[in-house]
A and B are shown apart, each in its own frame.
Chain A
């Protein structure tokens, strides 16, 4: 019976910890990107910075959609720029940021597979 109580207590603790962690793990996006970090010149309008890694299938889906879009798009491979993953606290990819090209302010952010309406939202921001 003691073992059962220990197991139940452990399961309760694990469930609680998981729930707390999941709540805190809401995808966070940086507020601002240093355009100089990415070699981007200051300009007007909104562009897209896509943080990706080589085996990330959703990143490829985003890239395919964005290169066909009129919105300026820059892909950042975190394998080649791991320091940017640390600087901007990128925990998972894809992280797609709609960024003001004037000052690097992030105006919207997307994670996971591209969803209907998201590309249109980016194009609206850039328009």
Chain B
């Protein structure tokens, strides 16, 4: 199936199903990490988010899953501005990084609270299609008077 935007090079926009895939993977794995008390998995998720944000979508495993496996089968979804979901990922990366640090210093409860916040919000976004991190970005953008020419799409 054809693509109207390149998944890795057109970084100003993104197929809206890609962030949802990412949210589903991050949210599910963070929840599993909590159930099995796998603190190392939270650290891995933080690293994964940071890699994707800094090195590009080719380093984001859920993005690869979507763009290489899912999208070729179901076609391209709605194209949207990539800034709001990127901001949501940044927030998730910060929370999971702080959670990892909390585990390292022995503040396990605090770490798990942060991890569960990320898991809950990510799963809610994946299920409902309403990305609260993106909405937060929109609120900030409006407050700063940013030109919102690419959202909503």
Among the stretches B52-60, B95-103, B143-151, the one at the interface with A is B143-151
> Which residues A70-127 have CB closer than 8 A to chain B?
77-80, 82, 85, 90-93
Please tell me if the beta carbons of A7 and B31 are within 8 angstroms of each other in the complex.
Answer: yes
Residues of chain A contacted by B148 (CB below 8 angstroms): 78-79, 82, 85
Minimum-distance CB pairs A-B, first 8: A79-B149, A18-B127, A18-B128, A56-B153, A21-B128, A92-B152, A7-B35, A14-B123
Please tell me if the beta carbons of B31 and A18 are within 8 angstroms of each other in the complex.
Answer: no
* Interface of chain A, main secondary structure: helix
Please tell me if the beta carbons of A54 and B128 are within 8 angstroms of each other in the complex.
Answer: no
**A26 CB–B CB distance under 8 Å:** no
Query: Given contacts A14-B127, A17-B124, could you give 5 more A-B pairs where the C-beta distance is less than 8 Å?
Result: A18-B127, A53-B151, A54-B149, A56-B78, A78-B152
Instruction: Indicate whether A93 sits within 8 Å of B37 (C-beta atoms), given known contacts A14-B120, A57-B4.
Output: no
Please tell me if the beta carbons of B152 and A57 are within 8 angstroms of each other in the complex.
Answer: no
Q: How far, in angstroms, from A3 to B149 measured CA to CA in the complex?
A: 44
Residues of chain A contacted by B4 (CB below 8 angstroms): 57
Instruction: Indicate whether A55 sits within 8 Å of B152 (C-beta atoms), given known contacts A14-B123, A25-B130.
Output: no
**A15 CB–B CB distance under 8 Å:** yes
Which B residues contact A (CB, under 8 angstroms)? Answer: 4, 12-13, 31, 34-37, 78-81, 116, 119-120, 123-124, 127-130, 142, 147-153
Q: How far, in angstroms, from A17 to B142 measured CA to CA in the complex?
A: 26
Please tell me if the beta carbons of B120 and A55 are within 8 angstroms of each other in the complex.
Answer: no
Residues of chain A contacted by B153 (CB below 8 angstroms): 53, 55-56, 59, 92-93
Q: Which residue of B lies closest to A1 (CB)?
A: B35
